[in-house]
Structure 1
Amino acid sequence: MSKQVFNFNAGPSALPKPVLEKAQEELLNFGDSGMSVMELSHRSKTYEAVHQEAKSLLTELLEIPDNYEILFLQGGASLQFSMIPMNLLKEGKTASFVMSGSWSEKALKEAQLVGEAKILSSSKDENYRSIPEVNSSEINANDAYIHITSNNTIFGTQWSTYPDTKDVPLIADMSSDILSRPIDVSKFGMIYAGAQKNLGPSGVTVVIIRKDLLESANDQIPTILRYQTHAKADSLYHTPPTFAIYMLRNVLQWVKDQGGASGIAQANAKKAQLLYATIDESNGFYTGHATNESRSHMNVTFTLKSEELTKSFLSEAAEKGFVGLGGHRSVGGCRASIYNAVPLEACEALRAFMVEFQNKHA
């Protein structure tokens, strides 16, 4: 009998149990090939079917228009911080960044190594407790692009609606909330996401880029760093992370079985409301980091009254099988990451523990 734990890790994070069971069942003999999917040639018809189905499912679930290209890359969001300005930030243009957390800071830092990049808006002065406002009058039509981070894992904030950037392409790092709710892809010039929160295991990065940006991208950079290279080769320019893409396909099929992005969004809202209600009803025993209007449905961040109490909370939680509840050092306290694959039962169990702990220590 397997050990029962409740996985609230920030990433790599929980995967749907049916997806893991399917991988286990097919591990040694995929598609009657007599081999694991990890052993297949990425040029084989057997793997090709997996690759194309992953793209097809992503297109269906996110309703991606025909004028976008889907790429499966490696290097995580961190490599995209460099690839984006290399490809899209041309001389004479400026990249504008909306600062909502640590990952925004890292993206800006990398862009500044490549070209002109500036801060459009920021909530750093309040330790990123909220999503900053974007004043449309400050958007320069000559900007190369505007970059946002759609969900902030460390601080527990999330964009509820996206800014209207007019004719300037909006680029979003959606690593931690992609496919957690329906989105209008046509509002973005590009979306990118490391898979390890909502799409699968670590190892593959999904890039959804508008074809006009792709076609006008800089081609005077190393071949493997060009989006055009990967688009022309259907993400098979070099050996792709085949097992990660296989798992991505399986997760996407699971999302479809849950009712797609709309069904997943309803489940995520229910989980988040359960935990935020626990915080709000605690009479200050628990304090949420994010302002109410910026609260994330993916990462619930909160603090207790003292460091000693926090240590006791995390220690007792660990004994009861709760994994990954420690907050990031820049915020402290606790963080429950409740990505798509985290079941409602895990959140119900955490709520019960939080109430019990408060009753014991209040």
Structure 2
Amino acid sequence: MHKIRGDRKIFLLAILIIMSLLIPFSSAGFIDDAWGKITGKAAQSVSVNITIGVPEIRNVYNSTATIIAAGTGLSSGPVNTSLIINFSVYLGTGVANMDNATATINFSKASETLRQSPTCDQVEVGTNVANYSCNVTMSWYDGAGTWAIQAFISDTGGNSGKNNSANFSVGETTGFQMGALGWVSLSPGSTNQTASAALRLNNTGNKNMSANTTQVNATNLRGETAANRWISAGNISVSWDATTLEACDTSGGNGIAANNMSNGTFINITTANLTKGHYPTNDGSTGQEDFYFCIKTIGSELTSQSYSTAAYGPWMVQILLTPLVLLNIRRKNKKNYRKLNMNRVKNFIH
């Protein structure tokens, strides 16, 4: 009996040895798979992308002459101001891998329009470092204060770099330009003669002119031949809005009435303001304010002659502390024509 059991063990051992010799080594995966199922562990394929380097914007240069000048103020409208910004980029894989078309400079400030360079030029090249020069255009109405500079660039692999460490200051500017006024035919004894076109002010600076800061100083228009005849400034009124306010009506309360002029005195134009903006839009509101004038009475005693500001001085408009000569008014005795501009008014009384 013991001999038989020993023979069986020898037989089984021989079979195991033969099977191990017959199984190819390529079946090791099967064993691994079986082992993984037993142990809960298995080999997995893993792909790893290693980025050698991304663009590193090390320096942004904002000390150019144009940037320094911006601290005192941008150009007056409608002239824009070009500012030059330079920055340097390091790329470990070499400058040949920089995507020059992505080089960009942005200027940003809260509540202001983003300003951006359309292109940047690569101006200096090394093995791993390149310098870029960018031209950013700012408008005359871009607000005063601190503007942030953001530099961007990517490499050909789509890896991007940026730098937000630099900024610069823009100074405050104030100023305005004026258009012309016109009237239809005027006759002695006529009343409530409103201007056929408004006097339009353009804000050429970057400051919003607040309400109730615009003033007009009108003077009497004395006859140049018969000095004892004149058109009184008190017979002239003005409002800022012809759609809701009657330029000739001074009977209402604050904000709903035109303002009477007074000889040689600055009179505030109620609720008028002059916001900053791109006034070449010429819509009467974007960077603009319109003023509507009315001659309430053309005295019946007036004779046909020239009436001008020569005796009492030119009319003026001022906003805050910024005075500007409005016009020298001259009136002549021709028919159906009256024009008011920066230099003079021709008023034809017949």
Give the TM-score of the pair, scaled to structure 1.
0.20
Does 1 or 2 have the higher relative contact order (CA < 8 Å, sep 6+)?
A: 1
- Structure 1 or 2: larger strand share? 2
Give the TM-score of the pair, scaled to structure 2.
0.20
- Structure 1 or 2: larger helix share? 1
Which is higher, the Rg of structure 1 or of structure 2? 2
